[in-house]
Amino acid sequence: MKDCAAMLLLGLVPMLSQQAAVAGPEEDREAFVEYSQSRFPEVPFAEFANGIYAIDEDVRSQVTGTWAW
């Protein structure tokens, strides 16, 4: 019985010590936007919708070249 109680206690301690998530989806989005804008300050905000093409001009030129057929 002591072993069972000890195992239960050992199983509950990690669960009780974990903190709940503090940020919600909107806070996560704001943090991601802030990080992206600080990481790539030369890229206008609207260009982030283009993904990697907003950051890497070589990749953009390769793709836009294939669109002209």
Domain residue ranges in the chain: 24-69
User: What does the pLDDT look like over 12-69, one tens digit per residue?
Assistant: 666 666 666 688 999 999 999 999 999 999 999 999 998 888 988 888 888 877 665 5
DSSP 45: G
pLDDT score recorded for residue 3 = 74
Give CA angle at 17 (13, 22), nearest 5°.
155
* Position 7 confidence tier, pLDDT thresholds 50, 70, 90: low
Q: Where are the alpha helices (DSSP H) in the chain?
A: 2-17, 25-39, 52-55, 57-67
pLDDT score recorded for residue 64 = 75
Q: How far apart are the C-alpha atoms of 57 and 43, rounded to whole Å?
A: 11
pLDDT score recorded for residue 26 = 95
pLDDT score recorded for residue 59 = 86
Cα–chain center distance at 3:
42
